Amino acid sequence: MTNTSGRKVCANIALTLDGRYHGPGGPGDMNSIVRYAITDIARDHLTRIWQDATTALLGRRNAEGFLGFWPTVADDENADPRDRGYAKWLTTTEKVVLSTTLTQAPWDRTRIVNAPAADVVAELKANGEGDILVNSSATVIKALLAADRIDRLYLLICPEIAGGGPRLFDDGLPSSQWQLTHQETGKLGEIAAVYDRVG
């Protein structure tokens, strides 16, 4: 899918070597990811993902979970400056939350939308500037991959095999080609990679 506007749709997620975004114990089973998400490589990667973004696109679960964590980081003078930079961006930027159940926005500068992710992205791309960042909301990323609507992937590859849990890349996705545009490897073997959609 050719990007016809200046806005890129960017997705960020951490994955295990077997392609899973959480373990077999459910969404809270992050044992094979969490220790890699606080390394210098991961924190530099976090800074990279939001610097050109002006809109955060989130699923309900992440919107509610982030609300309980990131605002406190934004106010914490002792927090890592990279974490704090992302937290300040997230709390002040435009947020669009995809949900069929929420009736009130959980954050300031947030609107709730009950519509397919691809339709929401098309509307955002037609009416704004700056990148649209889908940060760690796997269900939204999967829907956009299925609709061939992602322009850039920010991946943190964690060197563990979870052995169970959902995978990001399901069978049946449209075929696509990606170019590696940035890569860094950390001391624990974690890899921060940026892939841009070709064509």
Q: What is the reported pLDDT for 177?
A: 97
Q: What is the reported pLDDT for 128?
A: 87
Domain membership of residue 3 (yes or no) is no
Give the tens place of pLDDT for each residue, 145-170: 999 999 999 999 999 999 999 999 99
Q: What is the reported pLDDT for 66?
A: 87
Domain membership of residue 77 (yes or no) is yes
Supply the angle between the helices 40-50 and 81-92 in degrees, to the nearest 10: 30
Closest by Cα among 91, 102, 100 to 66: 91
Give the tens place of pLDDT for each residue, 98-120: 999 988 887 889 999 999 999 99
Domain membership of residue 1 (yes or no) is no
> Which ranges of the chain have pLDDT less than 50?
1-4
| Parent domain of 138 | 9-197
Domain membership of residue 154 (yes or no) is yes
Q: Kindly compute the dihedral angle of the four CA atoms of residues 80, 83, 86, 89, in this order, to the nearest 10 degrees.
A: -50
Q: What is the reported pLDDT for 5?
A: 56
Burial (0-12, 13-18, 19+ Cβ within 10 Å), 11: buried
Number of domains observed in the structure of the chain: 1
Q: What is the reported pLDDT for 3?
A: 45
Residue 191 belongs to domain with CATH number: 3.40.430.10
Domain membership of residue 152 (yes or no) is yes
Q: What is the reported pLDDT for 1?
A: 44
